[in-house]
Structure 1
Amino acid sequence: MTDKRLEDNIVQFCGVTGATTRDARKFLEKYKRLDMAIDAYYNDPTALSSTPSRQTTSAPSTSKLTTLFNRYKDPDADEITVDGTIKLCEDLGVNPEDVVLLAVAYELKSPRVGEWKKQGWIEGWKGIGCDSIPAMKAALPLLRDKLARDPTYFRKVYNHTFDFARSEGQRSLGIETAQAFWGLLLPHGLQGGALSHTTDSGNDEDVSMEQEDGWKPEFVQWWFDFLTEKGGKGVSKDTWAMFLDFVRTINSTFSNYDMEAAWPSTIDDFVEYAKARLASGA
């Protein structure tokens, strides 16, 4: 780990945990990775401390989180709405379209875009370990990294995103809306390894596939092109959920696809489309 990266990680470690710089350095030097060091610290904050008798970090404050919630809350409602969300994003220094906010939405149990309930806000940030804007800012890179590399966590955020993105009263996602959220999630998971190729759709553990290539980044655009050409009213929850398994299990030539399996018809049709496109070299 370079000195610059270590110093950056120390700042984030302290922001999330409230630990001293000295302890942060000890945990980071031992565990190398920021997320592993933080997990180890929460499991036993005094494990590497030179002063074992020191007090452990206090839990996030409900009163502080309530004060923050009220700062962003709609004055005419009991929740944070779109205007408050925009202000929150400004204070956190994050683009409202950053994929990390989908992880935050999952953690805080946000029911839909631009809407945050008080209970979910308090319990969610407590679970992350934050009760201040600096700590929240420091936690975002950790959530972004976890979403990119952890298949199980990616699936949880992915599944929550369907309901989060869906308009109130609607059972499906509009095609354009679905594409927008797939456009955030899929490249992020592909780049970080959360969507690494596996032979078992029910297993989120990474599987070595040295002899076979899986889903390629360019297939995301193929999927969008197909949906645009096909038209239709929207994407069902079943199609949304099963598409994740499809991406993780399909090989790069689509030759291992089982038409007799219980895939949604939209995915059946896409496989035919993709095979034709591969054959044509388009």
Structure 2
Amino acid sequence: MVQVTRRRHSGGGGGSASKRSKTAGATSAVDTLFDDFRGPLSADATPEDADRIGPEGVERFCEALGVSPASQTVLLLCWTMRCEHMGYFSRPEWRRGFAELHAESVAQLKKALPRLERSIYDRDAFNRFYEFGFNYCLTEPNQKILDLDTAAQMLAVVMPADCPHLAPFIEFLGVQTENKCFRRDEWLSFGRFCEEIEPDCSNYDESSSWPLIFDNYVEWRTDGANV
């Protein structure tokens, strides 16, 4: 075994050069795709424009994948790419996503989507994805809250559709008047609430350390008409 290792290291780095060549080829193919979806640059385009796909390009990319731009699948891609700005892909983000999913083409990426969708069956992975959903909606450096409409729309994307609290909680957000925004701690608590609290809220304990919005939600659910 030691001799084999030595021959590999003394052979002029051929294997390493081959690996670098394959990596460079993959990056080139992925960059070509990026440029295609970004589209032609105008005469006054900035260097930032050259390394960013905007909303129209993102929509074309989703069409090529056969998925809705508002789907959980696309949000999973954004999470994998670690995107910072909603509706945009930077070139480093694009490269990261394709590399993570071992894809060099749209067809290969499309084949990888079911595996990506299954990845959040793991609770830790889902929790990271769920937290990303909140962060992805933030538009200002020091922003810590979401407006209720944005929170409701993102919850509908990030949460499993069969979550028993999802639809009623979104309905509650639309009719209640006490909360004007949705805070990070409330967002994170909703994920835990869905894991721990029965669909009929029968095991909810007001004395526990839940944010006030959940006291109000449970009261609304259990007043008779909303259970």
TM-score normalised by length of structure 2: 0.77
Q: Any idea what SS the aligned residue of 1:173 has?
A: strand
- The AA in structure 1 aligned to 2:135 is D
The number of residues matched between the two structures is 197
Counterparts of 2:87 and 2:98 in 1: how far apart (Å)?
Answer: 17
Candidates 28, 52, 57, aligned match of 1:63: 28
Candidates 108, 113, 135, aligned match of 1:163: 135
- The AA in structure 1 aligned to 2:115 is L
Candidates 160, 166, 171, aligned match of 1:187: 160
1:176 aligns with 2:149: yes
1:227 aligns with 2:178: no
Show the counterpart of 1:151.
123
Show the counterpart of 2:209.
262
Per the TM alignment, residue 86 of structure 1 is displaced from its structure 2 partner at its CA by 0.8
Q: Any idea what SS the aligned residue of 1:235 has?
A: strand
Candidates 95, 98, 103, aligned match of 1:122: 95
Uncovered stretches (5+) of structure 1, i.e. residues with no partner: 1-54, 191-215
Per the TM alignment, residue 243 of structure 1 is displaced from its structure 2 partner at its CA by 0.6
Candidates 110, 114, 119, aligned match of 1:141: 114
Which structure is larger by alpha-carbon Rg, 1 or 2? 2
Q: Any idea what SS the aligned residue of 1:103 has?
A: helix
Aligned ranges for residues 14-33 of structure 1 at < 5 Å?
none
Counterparts of 1:84 and 1:168 in 2: how far apart (Å)?
Answer: 23
Per the TM alignment, residue 115 of structure 1 is displaced from its structure 2 partner at its CA by 1.4
Q: Any idea what SS the aligned residue of 1:276 has?
A: coil
TM-score normalised by length of structure 1: 0.63
Counterparts of 1:253 and 1:96 in 2: how far apart (Å)?
Answer: 33
Per the TM alignment, residue 281 of structure 1 is displaced from its structure 2 partner at its CA by 6.8
Distance 1:281 1:113, change over 3 A: closer
Aligned ranges for residues 55-94 of structure 1 at < 5 Å?
61-73=26-38, 75=41, 76=45, 77=49, 78-94=51-67
Per the TM alignment, residue 163 of structure 1 is displaced from its structure 2 partner at its CA by 1.4
Distance 1:171 1:63, change over 3 A: same
Deviations 1:218-240 (A, max 9, x none): x3222122111213432111111
Per the TM alignment, residue 87 of structure 1 is displaced from its structure 2 partner at its CA by 1.3
- The AA in structure 2 aligned to 1:62 is T
Deviations 1:85-127 (A, max 9, x none): 0111122121112211111010001113211122122122201
Counterparts of 2:73 and 2:146 in 1: how far apart (Å)?
Answer: 20
- The AA in structure 2 aligned to 1:159 is E
Q: Any idea what SS the aligned residue of 1:257 has?
A: coil
Show the counterpart of 1:34.
none
Preserved contact between residue 130 and residue 159 of structure 2 (Cα < 8 Å): no
Preserved contact between residue 69 and residue 118 of structure 1 (Cα < 8 Å): yes
Per the TM alignment, residue 141 of structure 1 is displaced from its structure 2 partner at its CA by 2.0
Candidates 275, 278, 281, aligned match of 2:222: 275
Per the TM alignment, residue 247 of structure 1 is displaced from its structure 2 partner at its CA by 0.4
- The AA in structure 2 aligned to 1:114 is G
- The AA in structure 2 aligned to 1:229 is V
1:111 aligns with 2:58: no
